[in-house]
Structure 1
Amino acid sequence: MTDLPELETDPEAVADRRDEVAGAIRDHASGLARALARVQGGDYGRRAFTTDAGEWTLKYEAGDVEFLLFEPRSGEPVYVVSTKQPPEPDALALAARDYAAFVRAFDAWVDSLAGALDDAPTAFPEPTDTSDIVAERERVLARIREVCTTMVGELDRYEGDQYGTFTARVNGSRWELKRDGAQVSYLRVGGSDGIYLLSQYGPPSVPDLKELAPDVAAFVDAYNEHVTELTETAEELEV
């Protein structure tokens, strides 16, 4: 049997050295990613840095490096750090030779931000207190809820169903009072995408309440007319 030539270079040694270099860059780039995330803010982001040999893009996610891409001025781009397979040894070697230049570009960018906030003001006017506005809103809403609770109580008495609604059109808008037994479920103005004056989700805005509160009386009048019609109908019943 003819003797086969032996490999002059051990592939395992090449792979081990590739993993060693890639791991060292990843560990270092992780620190850069954390620093970039702190400066830019947020859990996700990226930034590109230019060197004489090409462009580097550092992308971070959840404060750690997601990928580090090197795009040389000539040749194919290489993901020096990524969540996929490690780069080819020759591509990694090309990127590794420029990695120090990338770090210097990163440092230069950070240095350029020094003093950027020196003149930024930190003294601001005191926010106006809203407690009186909120208290007034609660007072108006409490009265609206009181009236509507009386209405749904009466509706529950004669309709007999556990759930129901009373609707009326006021100044061109559809008002809907929904009840759950004798309790108010909601008072909504303007259909399914409208404004909830009463609901389980929270109060309306003060501007919305200011606009719609004057129409509550007309809505109650519409209810009273509805009850009057029912009363007249009942009086006409014969047994």
Structure 2
Amino acid sequence: MTDAFDDVVSADNVATRRDEVAASVRAHAGEMARQLAVIQGGDYGQRTFETADGEWTLKYEAGDVQYLRFEPGSGSEIYAVSSKQPPEPEALERALADYDAFVETFNEYVESFDGLFDDAATSFPPVASAAELAAERDRILERIREAATAMAQELHRYDGEYGTYRTTVSGTRWELKWDGDAVSYLRVGGSDGTYLLSQYGPAPAPEVRRLVDDVGAFVESFNEDVADLEADLSRVAFETTP
């Protein structure tokens, strides 16, 4: 019996060469990915290109190649570029045999957009101004805020430092939230409703127009509630022990 064994052939040279080729493919495919991103837009996307021997899918993300996959007419798919691991040498060699055809197809795709905007219109009608509409909306909201602030002051006076006054107008819920003498918000229609008044900006003009005719009824409902409360308090009997 002998203790001698044949030397194991090193695969280092093959792996090194494979890595060099794979790096070149990644750099080249990365340039194609950037051009594809320019055409398709967005931070990520992909497109498949057909050749006589199969299909190539180029996926990009953040302006760089995410993967380049070759699906031959027969056999398993090959990731010529991948974020996970380099391809096997034989698989990479098979993919590269069709790589020039893929690049040619890609270039034809890009060149197909030449002259796309030659007849595109670059002159457009003037844009109508909404300045007067916004000014009128703001004027109406200011009047609503004046009324709501007066209500907040009265609510602060008899119902505490802060709270929410609720009532129903024309079958719709109205809510006025106050904090001190200030209005926090005036909301119509519940939690998913319209904020006629808020700290985040004015309500949309169409919503203001839809609701403004009910503001008077909202104030009247408040006045009636205050009057009823005063009437109830006036009927309270209070005596002290002599």
Aligned partner of 1:121 in structure 2 is 121
Structure 2 length as normaliser, TM-score?
0.95
Answer with 149-158 or 111-120: which moved more.
111-120
User: What's the CA shift for 1:2?
Assistant: 4.6
User: What's the CA shift for 1:74?
Assistant: 0.8
Deviations for 1:152-207, whole angstroms, at most 9, x for unmatched residues?
A: 110000112x2211111111100000111221011011111111100112211111
Structure 1 distance, partners of 2:3, 2:75, is 41
Q: Secondary structure at the residue paired with 1:113?
A: coil
Structure 2 distance, partners of 1:209, 1:34, is 47
The residue type equivalent to 1:82 in the other structure is S
> Which 5+ residue runs of structure 2 have no aligned equivalent?
none
- Asked if residue 6 in structure 1 is aligned to residue 2 in structure 2, the reply is no
1:83-94 aligned at under 5 Å gives the runs 83-94=83-94
User: What's the CA shift for 1:4?
Assistant: 2.3
Deviations for 1:62-119, whole angstroms, at most 9, x for unmatched residues?
A: 1111111111111100111111011111111111111111111110001111112222
Aligned partner of 1:226 in structure 2 is 225
Aligned partner of 1:75 in structure 2 is 75
- Asked if residue 43 in structure 1 is aligned to residue 43 in structure 2, the reply is yes
Q: Runs in 1 of length 4+ with deviation above 6 angstroms? A: none
Structure 1 distance, partners of 2:10, 2:117, is 55
Structure 1 distance, partners of 2:79, 2:221, is 70
Structure 2 distance, partners of 1:19, 1:172, is 73
Structure 2 distance, partners of 1:53, 1:6, is 40
Deviations for 1:3-55, whole angstroms, at most 9, x for unmatched residues?
A: 32334x53001101110111000001111111111111111111111111110
Structure 2 distance, partners of 1:5, 1:119, is 73
1:75-224 aligned at under 5 Å gives the runs 75-160=75-160, 162-224=161-223
Structure 1 distance, partners of 2:107, 2:62, is 22
Aligned partner of 1:20 in structure 2 is 20
RMSD: 1.1
Percent identity over the alignment is 54
Deviations for 1:204-223, whole angstroms, at most 9, x for unmatched residues?
A: 11111110011000000000
Structure 2 distance, partners of 1:196, 1:65, is 46
Structure 1 length as normaliser, TM-score?
0.96
Structure 1 distance, partners of 2:29, 2:201, is 47
Structure 1 distance, partners of 2:47, 2:54, is 14
Structure 2 distance, partners of 1:105, 1:158, is 79
User: What's the CA shift for 1:148?
Assistant: 0.2
Structure 1 distance, partners of 2:201, 2:48, is 45
Structure 2 distance, partners of 1:184, 1:175, is 14
User: What's the CA shift for 1:127?
Assistant: 0.8
